[in-house]
């Protein structure tokens, strides 16, 4: 693992690191914020999975998360959203290929060799983090935005016991019924829809839900609202009496101005679960 | 004036606007954050002047200022750092020409026609803002970063009565004695050093200081520390018993991770003066 940069930030350190990923078969970059408390022992971890087109950098610089993570003594992890590089397959569309990994393990065509973001985020990167940083891997929570909200929700529900709490900002809620999902699942996973179901938050919520509290915020003026399918997840959450809160925030859109506005709420929510 | 974008943010609106500037003789873009209170009447104003290479956008997206401005009901103004466009003179160096206006009115060579940032920030833009937004122009304060900290300090000291308080993040403190200053003043103002003195915070502090409180934060690990000349301003502030605080923040550098860490302190500081 190589240190790309480290900057003092809210009493802790905002670092960017690079490593050779064996599951993605390319160099991967990620960012970690360590609060001051990490100098004295392992701290709880909040994962932030980013949306389409993003790298590790967008949320690190624009979400305003470090202020609240520092207040609660929590580390933040910002993975990239896909494998990268000249050798990695890509597509001209912004919503397929590099920057659009969708947090699945691709089985199809040119994507399969590198696009293994599920395994990267749930196995390889956690193992690396546990070995390199003062993190309490027994106290983890997860959040994300848009495609990353989809990732956070599907990963949290698929790995019972791993995460204490889950939240999402404007998540893609029902990708098997959305143009943000069907296109990518067809490309990465193929046409067998049975394989898609483990990557759809609404279907997972109907099936088993999440074994902890959930918090979801989506703007009433989200310009991608029809692609998110929030109503399906709302129905599924209420239907199975999932412990959680789903808020439609008046006037907010899909931007980081929306995310940063509600970041304090989300980190406070996770802190309660992480310190239980 | 044309609206480029408006996003809901911390209960208010983060807007970006464009207008034809008569003093800079080009289109200029700026950003304004209006807190929720602005819907009911004029609110106090905090100017944020940015550093080298920045546009209106950097601080708007990375400084985390809206959270605290919203808490105190204060508007934020983020001007650009220079005139822009294909017709505007430029230089290959990052610290001269577009993105490096240094908050002066150029009198020399190819710069003079457009590089009138002093007049733009102190006259044209305030007039436009007063006519277009619910701002209480009787209650203004000013801050900035690096070159923008230089701008904030020199403008505040040169316009007694205009600003209630001044602050700066890692400001260029003594440009007439620094490579961040001599080069640009020679290019924009010519070789008559007498004309430079009105644009040097240390010299202005020695001469008359600021008629209100001042707050300055600079990191002990600022990678441009030698160019900033903080020691000269510290000497001048203490020498004339300027009301104010100068803090050297251990381990922090010149980045927005530093700025965002101390933004709450700065806005709280300005709020006290703005609501007196």
Contact yes or no for B260 and A64 at CB 8 A: yes
pLDDT over 90 percentage in chain B: 99
Q: Which residue of chain B is at minimal alpha-carbon distance from A8? A: B252
Q: Quick count: other Cβ atoms within 10 Å of Cβ B17?
A: 20
Gap between the Cα atoms of A276 and A274, Å rounded = 6
B54 and B81 Cβ atoms separated by less than 8 Å: yes
Gap between the Cα atoms of A20 and A13, Å rounded = 23
Contact yes or no for A7 and B219 at CB 8 A: no
How long is chain B? Answer: 276
> Which three-class secondary structure state does DSSP give residue A3?
strand
Question: Which residues of A fall within a CB distance of 8 Å from B255?
Answer: 7
> Which three-class secondary structure state does DSSP give residue B263?
helix
Gap between the Cα atoms of B248 and B270, Å rounded = 19
Whole-structure pTM value: 0.91
pLDDT at A276: 85
Q: Quick count: other Cβ atoms within 10 Å of Cβ A176?
A: 17
Residues A107-148 have pLDDT tens digits of: 998 999 999 999 999 999 999 999 999 999 999 999 999 999
ipTM: 0.86
Q: Which residue of chain B is at minimal alpha-carbon distance from A15? A: B257
B68 and B267 Cβ atoms separated by less than 8 Å: yes
**What does the DSSP 8-state code read for residue B124?**
I
Q: Quick count: other Cβ atoms within 10 Å of Cβ B262?
A: 19
* Average pLDDT of the residues in B76-101: 97
DSSP codes joined into one string, A230-259: HHHHHHHHHHTT-SEEEEEETT--SSHHHH
CA distance from start to end of chain B: 32
Smallest CA-to-CA distance from B119 within B24, B233, B202, B17 is with B24
Question: Which residues of B fall within a CB distance of 8 Å from A14?
Answer: 257
> Which three-class secondary structure state does DSSP give residue A34?
strand
The mean of the pLDDT values for chain A is 97
Contact residues of B toward A, CB < 8 A = 7-11, 14, 61-62, 64, 66-67, 219, 221, 251-253, 255-258, 260-261, 264
Residues A39-80 have pLDDT tens digits of: 999 999 999 999 999 999 999 999 999 999 999 999 999 999
* Average pLDDT of the residues in A252-276: 97
Name the one residue in this structure whose structure tokens are 């983890």. Answer: A140
Q: Residue B216 pLDDT > 90, yes or no?
A: yes
pLDDT at A18: 98
Which of B4, B5, B8, B263 to substitute to test the interface with A, most A CBs within 10 Å?
B8
pLDDT at B253: 98
């Amino acid at each position: 693992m190589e240190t790309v940069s480290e900057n003092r930030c809210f009493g802790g350190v905002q670092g960017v690191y690079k490593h050779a990923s064996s599951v993605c078969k390319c160099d991967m970059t990620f960012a970690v914020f360590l609060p001051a408390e990490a100098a004295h022992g392992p701290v709880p971890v909040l994962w932030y999975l980013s949306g389409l087109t993003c790298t590790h950098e967008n949320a690190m610089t624009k979400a305003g998360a470090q202020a609240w993570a520092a207040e609660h003594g929590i580390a933040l992890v910002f993975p990239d959203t896909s494998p990268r590089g000249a050798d990695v397959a890509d597509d001209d569309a912004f919503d397929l290929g590099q920057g659009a990994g969708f947090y699945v393990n691709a089985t199809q065509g040119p994507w399969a060799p590198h696009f293994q973001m599920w395994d990267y985020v749930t196995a390889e990167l956690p193992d690396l983090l546990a070995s390199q940083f003062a993190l309490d891997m027994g106290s983890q929570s997860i959040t994300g935005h848009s495609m990353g909200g989809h990732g956070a929700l599907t990963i949290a529900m698929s790995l019972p016991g791993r995460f204490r709490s889950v939240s999402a900002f404007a998540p893609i809620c029902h990708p098997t019924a959305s143009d943000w999902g069907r296109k990518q699942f067809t490309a990465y996973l193929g046409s067998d829809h049975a394989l898609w179901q483990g990557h759809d938050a609404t279907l997972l919520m109907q099936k088993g839900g999440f074994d902890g509290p959930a918090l979801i915020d989506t703007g009433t003026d989200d310009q991608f609202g029809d692609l998110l399918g929030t109503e399906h997840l709302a129905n599924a959450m209420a239907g199975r009496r999932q412990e959680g809160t789903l808020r439609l925030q008046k006037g907010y859109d899909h931007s980081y101005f929306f995310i940063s506005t509600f970041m304090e709420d989300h980190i406070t929510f996770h802190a309660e679960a992480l310190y239980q």
